Structure formats: C-alpha cells, structure tokens
Structure 1
Amino acid sequence: MSLTVKKLQVTYNPINEKNTFTNGDVVCGQVTVEVAKDCQLDSLYIKFKGKAEVLWTERHGKTTSVYHSKDKYFSVRQYFIRDKNAKDDKSCVLTNQHSDSYSNVLAPGIHIYPFSFQFPLQNIPSSFKGADGKIVYLLEAKLSRSMRLSKTESTTIDFVAKPDLSPVSGLMTPQHEFKDKKMKLFTSGKVAMDVKLEKSGFFQGEGLKVLLFVKNDSSREIKPKYCIYRKHSFFARGKRRIHTKDLIKEVGAPNPPSTSENVTQILTIPHDVEPSILNCSIIKVEHRLRVYLDVKYDSDPEIKFDIVILPSCQVPDVATAPPAAPGFGYEPFGNPNPQVWGFAAPQAPPAAPQPSDFPPSYGTYAVYPPLNDFSKN
C-alpha cells in the first residue's frame, strides 16, 4: 500500500496565535491524499472526536493490577468516499453536500478533501495530559482499500473550555475561615488567624488577594506562609490516583510575640498554570490555597481553601461561530449533569476560511449524535 498511497495527511487552520479552540469554534481543514498510480478506494473519511482516558498499574505482591477507564464526549464522521456495502452508522451524519461528487478511483497525484466541524457549546473539559491520564480532541482520517491494510493519520487539537463566572457556579462567593491553636512543648500561649478571600474563581494571570488577621499571643515569633498547590486525581475501577504539586510559595513578614496585625497578601496566578477541570468524571484538576502560621518547635495551624483557576478570557468568543440549534447553549461551569447536545447543519459555510484556502466544494458541518451513543467507535 505504501507504494501506491504515498501520503495521507490531516491539517487544520489555526484561528488565533495560541492555536487554541473554545466552545462553538469551527475547525476547518483538509485531508490530503497523494497516490503514485491509479488507486481505487473503498472508503475515506475524517473523524472528529473528544475523549478522556486514564491508565495506571499497581503492584500487589506478585500480582499487577491494571486500572483503566474511558469517557467519550463526542465522535462524528464526515465521509468523502463511502463503502457502498457499509451499514448505516448512527454515530455519523453525512452532511457534505459534495460527497457524491468524489470519485473512489484516484488518478496519480495529490487529492484534497476539505472538511469543517464545530466544537459543541456544551460544557466539556479542556485538553489535558497528566501522569496517568489525558483529555484529547483530535481529527483522524482513515483510508481503506480492498485487500489492503487501512491507513490512518491523526492530529490533536488544543481545546480550552470557555470560562464561566456566573452566580450559578458560586465562584464569586467570598470564603472565610478562622483557626486558633494553643501552643505546647517549647512554646507557650496561643495563636489565631482569620482568613478571608473575596471569591473562589480566578483567571490565569489574576491576583489572588488574601486578607489575613493574625493574633500572636505566644512566646515566639511566627511567620504567615502561603501556598497554592495543584492536585491531579484519576479515577478507575473504584480507585483514585493522586498527584500534587506546589505552584506558588510565599512568606509574609514575621509577627513578634504579643502582637496582632491585619495583613493583605497578593498572590499572582501564573499565566501558564493549567486551568481547573471539574467537569470530567474520571479526571479532576483541582487547586487549593493553603495559609498557615510557621511556629518553631510546634505544629503549624493551617487553613485550606478550594479555588478554581479559569482560563484567561483572551479566547475567541462563541458568537464568532455559526449559531447552534435552539436549546443547546453553554452550561454553567462544573455542571454534573450536562444535557444531550447536537448541532444543526448551517445553510452556508463559515466566514473564517478565505476563498483561496479551499476549493469551492468544501463541506458543511456534521451533526453530532447523542452523548454516550458510541458503542461502535
């Protein structure tokens, strides 16, 4: 097959400098097939899909246990050439109005097949890659010939979920905790701290303001310390695998014995920190703020806050994409019960590609199947 089919390639057009896509964005691209001589195809299609997957192993004595789980979000195909003997597949809808014009016999040379898909407006998680799991969105082309091995090529797409700070999500709700501790061993007295946060959700690059009141009625100097850390959780077969990492550590000015002080500390969220992922059933990316008092020769009193890191708002707006069918709007961040979604095929091609990018026959949008109906994919 390699002597006849010289190349099968999938490419797509970036829509911004970061080469990221968000909810509602349209992915336009092309499948390129190069053949050295006359070649007859049984089928040729491009698949657009999104999925999460976790995998790890654990050793228990002489036994190795494998923990594996998958979660599929969507899978839809656009056929350029379809096998006439193939059965109908409910997970795909032929919407390319020029699909019937493609010949299944290719002459020597390069053949280009344009496609376009739209990311759902519904709440799906951002792309992710961790130690024991990943969330990927990809385009996969498959070329099949009679009595030959099929040829497959794919490329991944970086998807960043559109942030939502609506009151429904509770991310604008202030947080407040109090903690006191009686000193023991080599320190006498008592220390207390009162910590407030203005909200729970923060964008990449935003300053997180910590309002801290410290009362030091002990015999020693104490130092307030701050730490933002990340936790990756992977779930499979009733088990959870956890990895944590400190992202930011800062130390405040010391508080002498028998003093009280109000402190405001600003912690800047890094621009490149990965956003929180709370809407995936098998992978969680969570963030916490830990505020504690460093006390010599004694355990440190601490307070922890759950915080949510949202992607910066410098991503394309959903309004730039063709409108979706009524009733399929974007759901609040972290909705545990997303509704079944789909998209109607628009009546005209998207405005993003220029005439020079594609031949006049480039395709329209594929209609998505119901969630969890991917037994054949």
Structure 2
Amino acid sequence: MTVRHLSVDYDKVNERGCFSPGDILSGKVTVVTSKETKVQSFLVRAKGKAKVTWHEQEGQTTVVHSNKKKYFYFEHIILQDKKKGDGSEIIGPGRNVYPFSFVIPNVDMPSSFEGKWGKITYSLRAHLTQSIWLVHKTKTEFPFLTKSEFPFASKSEMIIIGLKEQQYATRISFYGSGTVTMNVASEKMGIKQGEAVGVSVEVLNNSTRTVTPKFYLCEKQTFVAESKRRVHANDMFFGTGDSVPAQSSRTTTKVISIPPQLPPTFFNCCMMKLEYRLKVALDVPLLTEPVIKLPLVILLGAPKPHQHKPKRSIWFRKLPG
C-alpha cells in the first residue's frame, strides 16, 4: 500500500470555531505516499444534512422509520483520471498538500445537533481511488451555527415577545385531608446558555401531609419520519426546596444554572425540534406528585472557543510479504 496517510482539515473562521451560512469553508487535504502513486480519482466533498432513524416492533416485524434532508452538497475534484481507468494521474512520493474552498449557501439551516434518534451534521470527506478495489476515505465534521437569532421564531411570534416576561402558573391539588396550592413563577422565559434563572414556588399546605418541592429542567426532543412522531424526554434534577409541614405555607426560590454546553432551543428543522420546560413537582408521600411546567427558551450564549473532535485520519502500514 503506497498511500500511508490521508487527512482532511479546515481553517477556522472565527473565535467560536463555528461556520454559518455565507461563510467560506476552506482547508487542505494531506496525502503521504511511500512512492509515486497512480490514482483514478481524488476529491473532497462538503455536505450538510439532517437524518432521523428509529426502530419499532410491530408484532414479529421490526419496522425502521427514517427520514433525511440534504442542506448542501459540494464536490471539489483534486485529481481525475482523464482516460477513465488507467490510473494516469500521479501523486508524488512524500507529503502532498492540496487546498480546497467552498462557499456555504446563505440560507437558513439548523445548527449542528445530535439527539436520541437523529442528528444534524456538517462534514468534509476526502476520497482517493486507486482502483475499484482500493479506495481510501477520511472524514471530519465541522461545527455549524445557524444565523437565525431566534431559530424558533416560525413556531410563534409571541414567543419572542414573551422572552423577557415573567412566567406564572398555579395548581391546586385536592386530597382527602385537605388541599395543597402551589404557585410557581420564573424570572423570564428566555435564558442564554451558561446563565441562571430564578424559580420561586409558594406552597399553601392545608392538608395533613408534609410536602417538599423539587426542581427540574426538562428537555424534549421530537423526531418525525414517514408521518410518524417520536419523543425523547429527559429531566435534569436541580435539587429540592424546604419541606412545608401540614397546615402551613412557605416560599422557596431556587436558582437554576443552564449548562453552557446545553444545545439551544430550535424549530428550524423539518424533522426534529428541541424544547425545554422548567418543572416544579411536590413530593407528597404515597400520592401522585402535583406538577407545574413553565416554558423555557434556551438562547445561544456568549462565544466560546470550539474544541475539535478527533479527526479520523488514516495511517496505513505495509503488510508483510
């Protein structure tokens, strides 16, 4: 095997290390060969796509539901055998570097995302074909960030209006021994990655039981394929408040810090969306917990340097004989 190494790298365009619509995606493909090498084709591709897949058991049959969407696809030919098969294009021995450049379409596309049954990826792939039996491939993904300040705006314009408004909700639960009233309020509906939001719960406990408020951040991922819909929910526990004894009342405030790496809310993908809620539940011994959920929109936070994922470069070693 004369091709010892193949890798594809891209140039950063900003401090965050993310690309957006309209940016120039440039980089280089590096090939290391042990001697002069004939190739049939050598190219690099840039692709943006979304894909959803899950399996369901229907009787004795496993049914696969899938959907995909291509946002863009570009191909840059580095070397191409003009005689279609005789390997007339040559790569010299040693280290060879080939630059490339693409312009990302200036249209609305969702940010990179990886969920339970689907993901949105943007990638570069290099293909070097020596013969029909000998093809070398390598791939690296690059982070992509939508230009839309509100990638959920198409869902409802009222969401934007209410981002800075306080949220309120009330629930009254009836038990044989009395009632428990829970009033919940959050400072605002819109919060950036890495920031914190205060949530207050007022409990009026007119029952004979002691109740304790518990605080959660709820994530909801929705996937759509072949007219089917599947939801993945995940509750992140943030702790408990002070217990409220029987025939008493108490107000507890909890500060919930949004993890900076948590993906922002989005609706601008036709086959998946990501939503969040603030949830407050009352722990009532031996009874169903009363729950209040408030809407929460997580917005993109301040720029942070991107950490590259390990690239899948390929090194080849000579086989014996």
Q: Same fold (TM over 0.5)?
A: yes
**1:106 CA displacement:** 3.0
2-structure distance, mates of 1:14, 1:141: 18
Q: Against the structure 1 CA distance between its residues 147 and 58, is the aligned structure 2 distance closer, same or farther, given a 3 Å change threshold?
A: closer
Q: Work out whether 1:125 is the aligned partner of 2:114.
A: no
3-state SS, counterpart of residue 218 of structure 1: coil
3-state SS, counterpart of residue 142 of structure 2: strand
The percentage of aligned residue pairs carrying the same residue is: 38
Q: Which stretch of structure 1 is more off in the superposition, 76-85 or 251-260?
A: 76-85
1:179 corresponding residue in structure 2: 171
Q: Against the structure 1 CA distance between its residues 233 and 9, is the aligned structure 2 distance closer, same or farther, given a 3 Å change threshold?
A: same
Letter aligned with residue 159 of structure 1: F
TM-score, normalised via structure 2 length: 0.78
CA contact (8 A) 1:182 1:190 kept: yes
1:251 corresponding residue in structure 2: 240
2-structure distance, mates of 1:259, 1:163: 48
Q: Against the structure 1 CA distance between its residues 209 and 162, is the aligned structure 2 distance closer, same or farther, given a 3 Å change threshold?
A: farther
Q: Against the structure 1 CA distance between its residues 165 and 147, is the aligned structure 2 distance closer, same or farther, given a 3 Å change threshold?
A: closer
Q: Against the structure 1 CA distance between its residues 28 and 229, is the aligned structure 2 distance closer, same or farther, given a 3 Å change threshold?
A: same
Q: Work out whether 1:310 is the aligned partner of 2:299.
A: yes
1:288 corresponding residue in structure 2: 277
**1:49 CA displacement:** 1.0
TM-score, normalised via structure 1 length: 0.67
1:113 corresponding residue in structure 2: 98
Q: Work out whether 1:29 is the aligned partner of 2:21.
A: no
Q: Work out whether 1:164 is the aligned partner of 2:149.
A: yes
Q: Deviations over 1:209-228 (max 9, x none)?
A: 21333322223332222111
1:59 corresponding residue in structure 2: 57
Q: Deviations over 1:281-333 (max 9, x none)?
A: 222332221112222343222111232223322158xxxxxxxxxxxxxxxxx
Letter aligned with residue 236 of structure 1: A
1-structure distance, mates of 2:192, 2:83: 52
1:71 corresponding residue in structure 2: 69
Letter aligned with residue 29 of structure 1: G
CA RMSD of aligned residues (A): 3.1
Matched pairs, number: 295
Q: Against the structure 1 CA distance between its residues 124 and 267, is the aligned structure 2 distance closer, same or farther, given a 3 Å change threshold?
A: same
**1:147 CA displacement:** 5.7
Q: Work out whether 1:154 is the aligned partner of 2:146.
A: no
2:317 corresponding residue in structure 1: none
2-structure distance, mates of 1:210, 1:258: 23
Q: 1:241 aligns with which of 230, 234, 245?
A: 230
CA contact (8 A) 1:163 1:311 kept: no
Letter aligned with residue 78 of structure 1: H
1-structure distance, mates of 2:289, 2:6: 60
1:11 corresponding residue in structure 2: 9
2-structure distance, mates of 1:251, 1:38: 68
3-state SS, counterpart of residue 143 of structure 2: strand
Q: Against the structure 1 CA distance between its residues 123 and 308, is the aligned structure 2 distance closer, same or farther, given a 3 Å change threshold?
A: farther
Q: 2:123 aligns with which of 111, 114, 138?
A: 138
CA contact (8 A) 1:10 1:154 kept: yes
Q: Give unpaired runs (5+ residues) of structure 2.
A: 306-321
**1:64 CA displacement:** 1.5
3-state SS, counterpart of residue 159 of structure 1: coil
1-structure distance, mates of 2:48, 2:200: 41
**1:155 CA displacement:** 1.0
**1:138 CA displacement:** 0.4
**1:26 CA displacement:** 4.1
3-state SS, counterpart of residue 289 of structure 2: coil
**1:15 CA displacement:** 5.4
